[in-house]
Amino acid sequence: MGRFVPVHHEAHDDCFAEEASQVLAGNGLRVTRPRRAVVELLERSPRPMGAADIHQELRTQGIRIDRASVYRVLAVLEAQGLVHRVLSAQGYMACHPPTHLHLHGGTEPADHSCHHHLVCRACGRTLETHCDGLRGLIDTIVERTGFQVEGHVLEIVGTCRECRQK
Amino acid sequence: MGRFVPVHHEAHDDCFAEEASQVLAGNGLRVTRPRRAVVELLERSPRPMGAADIHQELRTQGIRIDRASVYRVLAVLEAQGLVHRVLSAQGYMACHPPTHLHLHGGTEPADHSCHHHLVCRACGRTLETHCDGLRGLIDTIVERTGFQVEGHVLEIVGTCRECRQK
DNA sequence: TTCTGTGCAAAAACTTTGCAAGCCG
DNA sequence: CGGCTTGCAAAGTTTTTGCACAGAA
């Protein structure tokens, strides 16, 4: 079973914003104020945020951005793999490029950087974990079904340690 | 690693509709024509269907149902665990009660009936698989994080064998 | 017959699109 | 300066809600 490395989102360092800028610039996209603001907001958020949440929070912070722009910015960031749509929470979350959409490289060796989400029902926070044990399971499925795996999503719902202790 | 049992949704037998009726009746809910129609439709569908798809398909079949009712019916069925919202495809799929929302029983022994979805990007079909190998991985996560797991979703995206051969 | 559940219609929420002005590089 | 991006406004979609009638039990 693989190594387990819990990473709480609040603990992210700010280098992601810069990393995001490089990805955008490297793809001929501009690093604008709204884009940077969304990236930084999602990076700091302990939980996935929906388009409406993002819009409201940025306005609260005094950043002038239109609702339509939030959608456009999210579309661009998602296409660049800088943001990931967290499914069951219908929200978006910052996502470092290496874990790019959970997509595995085609015929490349196993990607052990895949991460999963632990969503706490009580406090709503999402913890991110890294654990390559899933890879073996997926390999088994590939072997038995002939299914060619391009990506996966594993989301675990429950109660985090802190909330259990209350 | 657990036994792997691919189950194509088209192969479902019709007992599910009856099973669904019992669950509804058992909870003081009525077994109405619209509810039965939605359950039977999802049971037969090889892929997840959105609310709009369900509405249109039922109308095509000559079943008179309102769009609003589709939403209300889906809400009821989902609450009863008879239907499962397939995340990445933003659709719903029939779901036998035993796998009820992928929720594990609290302190009960490991539930090996959990299933996962294999979503083919090419043909859009969803295969359902049973494989208890994931359980071990989740147990590891529980052990290391103190997270109390209530349920999980594993969705694998890729290309099915048939589409690969084209 | 009783009361849940439905159809219809309208409202609310969410998302997309067009266009002129703004801003990044 | 040139063209990608944005704000604004309006249209398009999806989902929810209110109410009187229909149909399960």
Q: Residue A95: CB partners within 8 Å, gap ≥ 6?
A: A81, A82, A83, A84, A101
Q: How confident is the model at residue B4 (pLDDT cuts 50, 70, 90)?
A: very low
- pLDDT in the model for residue A105: 37
- Per residue in B53-77, pLDDT (tens digit) is 999 999 999 999 999 999 999 999 9
Task: Report the residue from B136, B148, B156 with minimal CB separation from A158.
Answer: B148
- pLDDT in the model for residue B60: 94
Portion of chain B with pLDDT greater than 90, in percent: 30
Spanning CA of B29 to C1' of C3, the rounded length in angstroms is 12
C-alpha B51, offset from chain centre: 14
User: Which of A120, A153, A159, A161 has the most B C-beta neighbours within 10 Å, making it the best mutation to test the interface with B?
Assistant: A153
Pick the range with the lowest mean pLDDT from A15-19, A41-45, B5-9, B105-109: B105-109
Is the Cβ atom of A30 within 7 Å of strand C at any atom?
A: yes
Q: How confident is the model at residue B130 (pLDDT cuts 50, 70, 90)?
A: low
Section B132-161 average pLDDT: 77
Q: Which residue has the tokens 């490289």?
A: A105
- pLDDT in the model for residue A110: 36
- pLDDT in the model for residue A129: 72
Cα distances from A99 to residues A2, A44, A126, in angstroms, run 17, 18, 16
| pLDDT above 60 (res B2) | no
Count other Cβ atoms within 10 Å, centred on residue B33. Answer: 10
Q: Which residue has the tokens 């079949």?
A: B61
- pLDDT in the model for residue A60: 93
Question: Residue B41 is inside which H or E element, if any?
Answer: helix B33-44
> pTM here?
0.71
Q: Over chain A (166 residues), what is each successive 10-residue block's mean pLDDT?
A: 38 66 91 95 86 95 96 93 73 60 35 61 69 75 79 76 77
Question: How do A91-94 and A83-86 pair as beta strands?
Answer: antiparallel
> Which chain B residues are within 8 Å of A146, Cβ to Cβ?
160-161, 164
Burial of B30 from C-beta contacts in 10 A (0-12 / 13-18 / 19+): exposed
Domains of chain A: 4-164 (1.10.10.10)
Q: How confident is the model at residue B31 (pLDDT cuts 50, 70, 90)?
A: very high
> Which chain A residues are within 8 Å of B158, Cβ to Cβ?
147-151
| Helix-then-strand count for chain B, H and E | 6, 6
Q: How confident is the model at residue B114 (pLDDT cuts 50, 70, 90)?
A: low
Count other Cβ atoms within 10 Å, centred on residue B53. Answer: 16
Q: How many residue contacts between A and B have a Cβ separation below 8 Å?
A: 129
Q: How many residues are present in chain A?
A: 166
Contact criterion met (CB below 8 Å) for B112 and B1 = no
- pLDDT in the model for residue B146: 81
Residue type, A57: E
- CB-CB under 8 Å, B159 with A156: no
Contact criterion met (CB below 8 Å) for A89 and A119 = yes
| Helix-then-strand count for chain A, H and E | 6, 6
- pLDDT in the model for residue A108: 33
Is the Cβ atom of A66 within 7 Å of strand D at any atom?
A: yes
Q: What torsion, rounded to 10 degrees, do the Cα atoms B93, B98, B102, B106 define?
A: 160
Q: Does A164 touch chain B (CB under 8 A)?
A: yes
Q: Which residue has the tokens 């959105």?
A: B50
Residue type, A49: M
